[in-house]
Structure 1
Amino acid sequence: MELNPHQNYFSQLLNNRRPLLISGPCSAESEAQVLETAFALKNTGIDLFRAGIWKPRSKPGTFEGIGEIGLQWLKRVQTEIGLPVSVEVATPQHIELALKYGIDVLWIGARTTVNPFVVQELAEALRGVEIPVMVKNPVNPDLALWAGALERFYNMGIRSLAAIHRGFSVLGENRYRNAPLWQIPIELKSRYKNLPLIVDPSHIGGRREHILPLTQQALDLDYDGLMVEVHPNPAVALSDAEQQLTPAAFAEMLTRLQVRSANSPNPEFQNCAEELREKIDNADREIIEMLARRMALVEKIGEYKKQNNVTILQMERWNEIFKTRPEWAAKMGMNAEFVEELYKLIHLESIRKQTEIMER
């Protein structure tokens, strides 16, 4: 899938200023709340006002959005405050109503992206409609689902597309509400080079104090924009109260962000960077040569195990490797957790190689 930047609503905005700024309340709760928030955010220079009209909640009985009347409030944001507006849609009926009220941009939520049948229905409902669409990553860490959702809209003629990274649900403890798993959106960006990538630090972090550092990390990874939830009084918000900023806090955050360029015109930087990259290339080649040497030894021990009818997995050896390698790394000033994860991959490849030998 190739996106033509000259036809992309988001790319045109990015030509004026980076990063693209999208902000507004998690949920539209009242007309006064929507207008107050929009007026305050207009002074911060946002590009797009967002508000949830239909809220897919995990538990029944919680606030599930105000519905169609909220679209009337967003119409006032457009006409009276002069901000373009965006809402989440999850059914063809949502799309019909959003188009009826002239919503500028639609977004597809994480719980919707996970279902290809629903995504296809939404894409078909937009066939022949020229409207920008943002697609959040699926709840689970599945790059194919995310890419597939974008391609379904592209196949129906939607050319103004953007991806929103809002983090992933994973097992185990995590400091954030949703694990960032940065490698997944980076891989998406590498596949679709002209696709704008927007971070949603509110849903990744789940708490206000995480929003600034997560946003800065995303900008340092060359993200194109941010979508941040803002409420005039987060303490009384009907949904996601802990992750919403006040308009004043959002404005202050923008002053603290550092937006860096992808390159530097400084010849000294370019020469030094090129020299260091060449050294990194050489180091990588040496690492791969050493891995090849290790795998050759793995094949030899696999042959001995087969000849002597010994199991592939030796738990004592497994435990020894995962005790000693991180310890070696720590002594060399390296991140022990990184080396432990690396050796899990190496050991799994060793098991795969020995399994091939056993099955010959």
Structure 2
Amino acid sequence: MSDFCQIQDWELFSGSGRPYVIAGPCSVENRESLISEAFSLKKAGVRVLRGGLWKPRTHPGCFEGVGETGAQWLREAGAAADMHTATEVANARHVEIVLKNGIDAVWIGARTTGNPFLVQEIAEALRGTGIPVFVKNPLVPDPELWTGAIERFARCGLNCICAVHRGFHFYGESLYRNPPFWQIPVELRRRLPGLPLLCDPSHITGRRDLVEDIARQALILGFDGLMIEVHPDPDRALSDAAQQITPGDLAGMLGRLKIRKTSTQDAEAAAAIDDLRTDIDRIDAALIDLLAQRMDISASIGLIKERSGMTVLQADRWNNVLERARSMAKEKDLDEDFITEIFTTIHRASMERQLNRK
């Protein structure tokens, strides 16, 4: 899976550069407003117009898109503003309609990515078309599902494939609608280094006032571009009103965002980074040695517990260890939740060592 077409070579983005931007309304609502918005987006430098035709909602009875009628509107809007077009597909019938209407690219939504049956059906329907495919992450933070969906399209002969990070479902309180869990797209890029990667800050945030900050973070991390929901009058949008921004807001945001390179031609800066990374490598080696010592000690404690008839879990001791670690983290100006996560992982490994002692 190393033969992905590099995004700068896609005809879809001909004439543009990083960040590569796909923008448009969450849902296509009517022909006139879509054409007007296309011209506004083109003026902002956007080359690809997005618009949802079918909107899978959690509950029935909500606005679920204009369907096939909107495909013609999307094509007309793209042609009028000289833009490429993209829409979401969730089954083979959608693919048939998209191809019949000359839509230039498709994306796979989060709900669909998590269903291998539907992904395979769509991949087979697209076989031989060469159409660009944008694969959003599944709702659950599982890199295997995401990678598997991408593999299915690649095995059907499609090589213009791009991953889209749109955040993950989270049960509980969060600042974001779908927290980004950046480690998941980072892992995807580690596995598939040649795969283009966009960020969808609209779905991550669920709030238009946070879109720019997430877009900025994505570009700092090295994402290739953005997929953003834009509406001429967001508060009146028929779907996802709270997370859409205006074309003017998009233009201003794109003007403020800065692109970073993956390397530098500054020899002094490169040398300084190399020296500091050598220090990090030394510290990492010491951490591994210390963790190995800790696990050996934990195993010895487990043997004593077994001989003495003691339980592996000692809740009071664990609470003391965690409280002490958090206190030391605070003194060192380290994030307490970060340290809690690390020590929780260490504690879990220690218990497993004691439980599985041979």
Q: What's the TM-score, normalizing by structure 1?
A: 0.97
Amino acid at match of 1:128: G
1:60 and 2:41 aligned: no
Give, in angstroms, the shift of residue 209 of structure 1.
Answer: 1.0
Give, in angstroms, the shift of residue 13 of structure 1.
Answer: 3.6
Equivalent residue, structure 2, for 1:123 = 123
Amino acid at match of 2:65: G
**1:265 & 1:7 partners in 2: Cα distance?**
23
Alpha-carbon displacement from aligned partner over 1:297-335 (angstroms, at most 9, x marks no partner) = 101101101111111011111211221101111111211
Aligned ranges 1:136-285 → 2 under 5 Å: 136-285=136-285
Q: Which runs of 5+ in 1 are unaligned?
A: none
Amino acid at match of 2:61: G
Count the aligned residue pairs: 358
**2:188 & 2:114 partners in 1: Cα distance?**
16
**1:118 & 1:244 partners in 2: Cα distance?**
28
Residue 39 to residue 14, structure 1, CA distance change in 2 (3 Å): closer
Q: Which runs of 5+ in 2 are unaligned?
A: none
**1:119 & 1:241 partners in 2: Cα distance?**
28
Residue 37 to residue 104, structure 1, CA distance change in 2 (3 Å): same
Where 1:5 maps in the other structure, the secondary structure is coil
**2:136 & 2:237 partners in 1: Cα distance?**
22
Between the two proteins, what is the percent identity of the paired residues? 45
Contact persistence 2:16–2:47 (CA under 8 A): no
Amino acid at match of 2:158: I
Equivalent residue, structure 2, for 1:333 = 333
**2:272 & 2:146 partners in 1: Cα distance?**
37
**1:93 & 1:329 partners in 2: Cα distance?**
55
Where 2:175 maps in the other structure, the secondary structure is coil
Residue 219 to residue 303, structure 1, CA distance change in 2 (3 Å): same
Give, in angstroms, the shift of residue 10 of structure 1.
Answer: 4.1
**2:6 & 2:51 partners in 1: Cα distance?**
27
Contact persistence 1:20–1:225 (CA under 8 A): yes
Contact persistence 1:3–1:192 (CA under 8 A): no
**1:320 & 1:248 partners in 2: Cα distance?**
54
Contact persistence 1:8–1:160 (CA under 8 A): no
**1:257 & 1:212 partners in 2: Cα distance?**
8
Alpha-carbon displacement from aligned partner over 1:15-35 (angstroms, at most 9, x marks no partner) = 951110110000000111211
**1:43 & 1:20 partners in 2: Cα distance?**
15
Where 1:106 maps in the other structure, the secondary structure is strand
Amino acid at match of 1:89: V
Equivalent residue, structure 2, for 1:36 = 36
Contact persistence 2:55–2:64 (CA under 8 A): yes
Residue 145 to residue 131, structure 1, CA distance change in 2 (3 Å): same
Equivalent residue, structure 1, for 2:114 = 114
Amino acid at match of 2:225: G
**2:31 & 2:227 partners in 1: Cα distance?**
21
Contact persistence 2:232–2:246 (CA under 8 A): yes
Contact persistence 1:5–1:12 (CA under 8 A): no
Amino acid at match of 2:203: H
Amino acid at match of 1:217: Q
Alpha-carbon displacement from aligned partner over 1:249-270 (angstroms, at most 9, x marks no partner) = 1111111111111111111101
Alpha-carbon displacement from aligned partner over 1:280-301 (angstroms, at most 9, x marks no partner) = 1001111111111111110110
Give, in angstroms, the shift of residue 78 of structure 1.
Answer: 2.5
Equivalent residue, structure 2, for 1:25 = 25
Residue 199 to residue 14, structure 1, CA distance change in 2 (3 Å): farther
**1:176 & 1:354 partners in 2: Cα distance?**
39
**2:233 & 2:91 partners in 1: Cα distance?**
30
Where 2:127 maps in the other structure, the secondary structure is coil
Contact persistence 2:12–2:48 (CA under 8 A): no
Amino acid at match of 1:268: E
Equivalent residue, structure 1, for 2:51 = 51
Equivalent residue, structure 1, for 2:309 = 309
Where 2:134 maps in the other structure, the secondary structure is strand
Contact persistence 2:8–2:17 (CA under 8 A): no
Amino acid at match of 2:349: E
Residue 101 to residue 120, structure 1, CA distance change in 2 (3 Å): same
Contact persistence 1:52–1:65 (CA under 8 A): yes
Give, in angstroms, the shift of residue 215 of structure 1.
Answer: 0.4
Contact persistence 1:207–1:243 (CA under 8 A): yes
Contact persistence 1:198–1:226 (CA under 8 A): yes
